[in-house]
Structure formats: C-alpha cells, structure tokens
Amino acid sequence: MRYVAPASVAEVVALLAGDPEARVFAGATDLVPQMRAGRPEPSVAIDLKKIPRLTGVSLTDGTWRIGAAAPTADLTGNAALAADLPGLVYAGGLIGSDQIQNRATLGGNLCNASPAADSVPSLVVNDAQAVVAGPGGELTVRVIDIPSGPGRTSLQPGEFVVEFLIDRPLPSTSDAYLRLIPRTEMDIAIVGAAARVSLDGDGNCSSAAIALAAVAPTVVLVPAAAEALVGGPISDDVLATVAAACAEAADPIDDKRGTVAYRRQVAGVLAKRAVLEAAGRAGNGGGR
C-alpha cells in the first residue's frame, strides 16, 4: 500500500481517477481498524488532512463551512460554532475518545455510513449540504442523500466529500442531539435522536426537524413529528405525538444490543428530550 498526502482537491481527483483501488481517508480512525479486521488494503491511501480547504472551519456570509477532514476536536473547541450549532458540536464530540477526536472527522463519520453515526442526524436536521468533488467537477448534495445503507454511500467512483455547508441559524433557533449507549462513553448508539427547533415571538414553534439514528439502515427524518410541533406551544400532548411518530418511523432490528420494541420506545423518548433541549436553547436566543 502506498501513502500519499496531496495538497489540493485537484490532486486527489487525479489520484482517484488514475487508480480505481485508491481510497481517501480523512482521519483513518475507521480505515485502520477495518484493515486490521481483514478488509483488503487500498492500493493507495490518500490522506486528506494536508489540504487546507478540507481541514478548515469558518463562517462566511452567513454560512458555516466545515472541512470534511477537520478534526472534531477543532469543532468542540470553536466557541462560535458551538453557540450556533450546539447539537452538532456535541454529537461530534461523542466520536471516540479525546485522542481519537484529534483525528476523527465529520466526513469520515458520514462516509463510513454506519446507521449509528452520531454526527449524521445533527447534520441532517440542520439541512447540511455536502460539497462533493469528482471527475466531473464539484457538486453540492444534501447530506441525507449520501448514506445509502450500512457501509454504503451514493458517492460514485472517484468522488469524495470536500466540505459541509450549513446556513447559520436564525435567532431563536437551535438544535440538540441525544443518544442511548450501554456504557457511559465510547460506545455505539442503540438509538440517537437529533432535533432542530425555531420559536416565534410568542414561544410557539415555527419550524422543526427531527432525525433518528440506529433505527434503520440510514438516518431517518420524521416529518410527522416535525409537523406536530409547528404552529403552537410545545405541550405535553404535542410531545406525546412526537414520540409516537418517531416510534412509528423507526424500523430497527433485533440484536444483542436491543430489541425492536425497545429501540422504538427509546426513539420516542429521546426525540421528546431532544426537542425540549433544542427548544430551551432556542428560547434563550439560540446562541445569538
């Protein structure tokens, strides 16, 4: 296996076009364990961390630009980003240990395509867009459209994620992410739930989005739960409807970590809690 660390997106595109067995990596926190577990080594391992565009985090003209290879430690250490997108930053901070977070990335967490990926639901509720580079140039796609199943993505040969674009939330808008794990830390979510809530001047919900992890082959948006929130106060009755909609939308499997019935119930409970947390932050101005 050959290791290369290109300095530009164009170099990466050329390397991938010249060798179909080449593979990019953003942090290698998944790639290395997978190879140790027996997966074939790529002919060329392309390190994305030497490209400034892929490792930067910036706010430009009201849009957050987060490099696909930016370490999650750079996100949790960015006070402005954490104020605007606390749920996403918190989710990024759940990926592995403190040491791992100096390498782990949102791009890797997305493209590894685990149904239990912690950062993906938060990216989805914040309507994140991914800039994808490939042989045909660059295009922008919704994050929710990239995972296509466990370990699979919609990316075509020679394509890779360059950066994420997220519009800065308006005042009185905020997000939250919660998960259930068997241990206190460094484990895979049995269920994860992200919520984004906007409040109007009267404290009523004006818009919302809710997404679930680890309850289906890919992250699940729950429009019925969001619709139940919009147009009024976030009451106990509304939250009960949210929980029921999320339990209904969940399509999990039985395994040693949880049954179908258990995961559906937990999905509803976590969704309610995430909504309340996001709404509480939004009521305080959403970090603005």
Least confident range from 19-23, 119-123, 212-216, 235-239: namely 19-23
pLDDT surpasses 70 at 288: no
Q: What is the mean pLDDT of residues 40-48?
A: 92
Residue range 5-34, pLDDT digits in tens: 999 999 999 999 999 999 999 887 777 788
Residue range 241-276, pLDDT digits in tens: 999 999 999 999 999 889 999 999 999 999 999 999
The domain limits of the chain are 2-167, 179-283
Neighbours of 201 (CB within 10 A): 7
Confirm or reject CATH 3.30.390.50 for domain 179-283, answering yes or no: yes
Residue range 132-155, pLDDT digits in tens: 999 999 999 999 999 999 999 999
pLDDT surpasses 60 at 287: no
Q: What is the mean pLDDT of residues 187-203?
A: 95
% of the chain surpassing 90 pLDDT: 85
d(C-alpha 83, C-alpha 85), whole Å:
6
Nearest to 89, CA basis, from 114, 123, 131, 49? 123
Radius of gyration of the CA atoms of the chain, in A: 19
User: How many residues in the chain?
Assistant: 288
Question: Exposed (0-12), middle (13-18) or buried (19+): which is 230, by Cβ within 10 Å?
Answer: middle
The CATH classification number of 2-167 equals 3.30.465.10
Q: What is the mean pLDDT of residues 184-203?
A: 92
Q: Evaluate the CA torsion angle 169, 145, 8, 46 in order and state its sign.
A: positive
Q: What is the mean pLDDT of residues 208-223?
A: 98
Contacts (Cβ under 8 Å, ≥6 apart) of 141: 129, 130, 132, 154
pLDDT of residue 98: 81
- The reply to whether domains 2-167 and 179-283 share a CATH topology is no
Q: What is the DSSP letter of 143?
A: G
Q: Which amino acid is at 248?
A: E
**Stated pTM of the model:** 0.94
Nearest to 72, CA basis, from 115, 29, 24? 29
Residue 23: both structure tokens together = 């593979």
pLDDT of residue 280: 97
Torsion of CA 124, 219, 282, 142, to 10 degrees: 10
